[in-house]
A and B are shown apart, each in its own frame.
Chain A
Amino acid sequence: MKDALLLGGYEFDSRLMIGTGKFSDVAAMTAAARASGARLVTVALSRFHRAASDDLYQPLAAIPGLTLVPNTSGARTADEAVRAAMLGRELSGSPFVKVEIHPNPRHLLPDPIETHEACRRLAKEGFAVLPYIPADPVLAKRLEDAGCAAVMPLGSAIGSGRGLQTAEMLRLLIQDSLVPVIVDAGLRAPSEAAAAMEMGCAGVLVNSAIAVAKNPAAMAAAFAAAVQAGRAARLAGLMDCGESASPTSPLTSFLGGQEA
C-alpha cells in the first residue's frame, strides 16, 4: 500500500480518524463516516440501558473496511482505563484502544500519570495502544518506550475548536518521535488538519468539527481532502523559509571571500 498509515503493525489507507460522538443521530454519523473515508473510528463504552437508543455496532459494521477503536472515556484512573480497554476489546474485536483519562470534567485535559500507567499495562497485554495526551514531547517518548503504537497529542482542548494551539510543542514532539503522531482534539477547520499533516503528523482525529457542522458528511469530506493535501505537501517537501537575518557587519569576511 502506497504511503499507508502504519499503526501497531496494521496498514490503513486513510490518515483521517473520526470520532462518533456529538452527532445529531446515527444516520448523520454513518453518512459522515462514509464521506470521511476513515478506516479507524472511535467509539465509547457505556452500560447498557433499557431505553437504549440506537444500536451503534450494526450501522458501523455495515461500512466496509472500518476498524473500531474503543476509547476509555469515563475512566479516571489507570485501573479503570485498563478495565474499560478489556471490555472494549471484547466488543470491538480489534486490538486498538484509545486511552483517554481526563478526570477534570471542565477542560477534559488528560492525566499524564494515570495515562502512562494504563498504557504501560495495556501494551504488555498486547493492545495497540493509542494514548490521548497533552502535547508534551517527554511524555510522548515515555509512552513510546512503554510500547504505545502511536501518540495522540491534543491540538487544543477537546471540543474547543481552537486549532493547533500546541504547534510549537507538536513540532518538538514530531521531530523525535519513532511512532506515528496523530493530532487529536481541538481542530475546527480542515486547514488546521492540513497544517498538522504538513508539520509531519501521521494522521489526525476529528470529531466535534464534523459532528456539529451544518452538514457533517460534507465537512467530513472536506477534512479528508485537507488531510490528503497536507500529507501530499509534506511528502513533496515544503520550500525552506527564507533566512531573514541580516548581520550589520559581515560575518564571513574571515574566509577571504573564497567559496567552495
Chain B
Amino acid sequence: MSASPSFPAASGPATGPAVRPDWADPGPWLDASAIPERDDDDVGRLVRLLRDDPPAALERMAGEAERLTRCRFGRVIQLYAPLYLSNYCSSGCAYCGYAADRRQNRLRLEPDEIEAELEAMQRMGIDDALLLTGERCPEAGMDYLADAVARAARRFDHVGIESFAMSADEYQRLADAGCASLTIYQETYDPALYQDLHRWGPKRDYLFRLEAPDRALAAGMRAVGIGALLGLGDPIADVVALYRHARHLQRRHWRGGVAVSFPRVRPEPGYWQPRRPVGDALLARVIFAFRLCLPDTPLALSTREQAAFRDGMAGIGINRMSVASRTTVGGYRRAVEGDGGQFAVRDTRDVDAFCRMLRRKGLEPVFKNWAAIFNE
C-alpha cells in the first residue's frame, strides 16, 4: 500500500531554513581563513584530525583511539538491539525506507506481539533494548509508545527509544514508564539541506528536533544518543556540528550521559542514493577523531555496517554496538531478515557469532550496563 502524505508539503516553516544556534554551527571552523575568536571545546583539533592530517596519520590515530578506549571503557563492548515497533510514518524523509510515500507494508506490533518479540530478544541474551517507531502518527503515538516502554522495562534493565521528537512532558512520561535513554539523530545539521530532505511532516521542524535531547535530559532521561546520518550532506561539516552538539549537551546537562553514533547511508541498490557517500576510511577517521577529542564519551556503531568494518572498529574507538538487528517490524521471531527494512542490515551475524568474534579480539561482550533496580 502506498500511504499518502498526511501533511502538506508546506507544513514546515514556510520562511526558509531554520536559523541554527551557535552550538550546532561548524561554520567558523570550516573556513580556513577565519580563525574563531575562541575555541573552548577545541573544535580546531577535531577539524585538524579530520581534514588536515595525512593518510599516514590514520594508523597513529587508531592506536591512540584504542589506547583511550581501553583506558576509559576497558576491554568490553556494550551490546544493544533495536526493536522496530511500527513502521507507520507521517513524515517524508527522502532517504528513509519507511517514509510515508514509500511502497511498504505498514505494520504495528500489538501488545502480545511486543511481548513475544521482547521474549525472543531476551532468549538471545539481550538486556538493552532500543524501541523504534516512525514519526508521530495515530497508529504509533504517545500512548502506544509509553505502553511498549513499560512492557520492555519489565523485562530489560535498559530500555531506550528512538522515535519522534517530543515535548519535555512527553519525555518525562516515558522516563517515568522506565525509559532510560533517548536516541535521536539530527540526520544533517545543515538547515537548508535538512529542509530539502525532510519533505513534509512534523520532522520538518529542524529546531524542535535539534533541541529534543536538551528536553529529554531536562525531563530526567539518563542519557541521550545523537548522530548525523552520514551520506546526506558535507560529512566534515556535519560531524563538526555533531561534535559541537555533544559538547553543548555535556556542558548543559552535567548529570546526563551523551553518546554518539555514526550511522551512514550507503549506495545500495533499491535504496535512496546518498549525495555525499562516506567511505570506510573517512568513517574510521571520524570515529578515531571523536575518540581522541571525546575520550569519555560512548561511541556506537550499528549493524548498518558490514562485519569486517565492525570487527575492525570494535574497541578502537567504538565501545557500543548493536547486535543481531532486525530492522523490519516483528523481525525477531522470524529467523531471517526479510526485505523492506528501514535500511539494509549488513552485519547479519547472530549474537553468538558476534560475541565469538569479540572474544577472539580479546573483548568481552556486555549485555547489561546497570541494574534497573536503582531506578525510582
Contact = CB atoms under 8 A, between A and B. Distances in A.
Contact of B312 (A243, A245, A252): A252
B244 interface: no
Interface string B32-48: 00010111100011001
B59 A250 contact: yes
B169 to A, nearest CB: 22
Contacts of B158: none
Contacts of A246: 60, 63
B45 A240 contact: yes
Interface in A98-133: none
A144 to B, nearest CB: 8
B284 A177 contact: no
A200 B35 CA distance: 17
Interface in A222-260: 235, 237, 240, 243-247, 250-252, 254-256, 258-260
Contacts of B55: 259
B48 A240 contact: yes
B contacts with A: majority SS: helix
Contact of A243 (B64, B251, B284): B64
A247 B281 contact: no
B316 interface: yes
A176 interface: yes
A178 B252 contact: yes
A141 interface: yes
B1 interface: no
Interface residues of A, number: 24
Contact of A259 (B39, B40, B281): B281
A245 B66 contact: yes
Given A141-B254, A176-B251, A243-B292, A251 B62 contact: yes
Contacts of A240: 45, 48-49
Given A245-B64, A246-B63, A251 B316 contact: yes
B349 interface: no
A224 B49 CA distance: 34
Interface in A131-161: 138, 141
Nearest to B279: A260
A255 B312 contact: yes
A177 B292 CA distance: 20
Given A176-B254, A247-B62, A258 B37 contact: no
Contacts of B284: 252, 255
Nearest to B60: A243
Contacts of A252: 58-59, 62, 284, 312
A contacts with B: majority SS: loop
Given A245-B63, A247-B59, A258 B312 contact: no
Nearest to B283: A260
B139 interface: no
B99 to A, nearest CB: 29
A10 to B, nearest CB: 19
Contacts of B312: 251-252, 254-255
Contact of B63 (A178, A247, A256, A258): A247
Interface in B14-43: 35, 37-40
Interface string B111-137: 000000000000000000000000000
Interface string B309-324: 1011000100000000
B155 interface: no
Contact of B311 (A247, A250, A254): A254
Nearest to B236: A260
B360 to A, nearest CB: 14
A150 to B, nearest CB: 15
A237 B38 CA distance: 9
B281 A237 contact: no
A177 B250 CA distance: 9
B245 to A, nearest CB: 15
B67 interface: yes
A178 B278 CA distance: 34
B282 interface: yes
Contact of A258 (B61, B64, B280, B308): B280
A245 B67 contact: yes
17 contacts: A138-B254, A200-B40, A237-B35, A237-B44, A243-B60, A245-B63, A247-B59, A247-B62, A247-B66, A250-B59, A251-B316, A252-B58, A254-B311, A258-B279, A259-B281, A260-B281, A260-B282
Interface of A: 3, 138, 141, 176-178, 200, 235, 237, 240, 243-247, 250-252, 254-256, 258-260
Q: What are the 10 A-B residue pairs with the smallest beta carbon separation, nearest first?
A: A254-B312, A260-B282, A245-B63, A259-B55, A243-B64, A251-B62, A141-B254, A247-B63, A259-B281, A245-B64
Given A245-B60, A258-B281, A259-B281, 12 more contacts: A3-B38, A176-B250, A245-B64, A245-B66, A251-B59, A251-B66, A251-B316, A252-B284, A252-B312, A258-B280, A260-B282, A260-B285
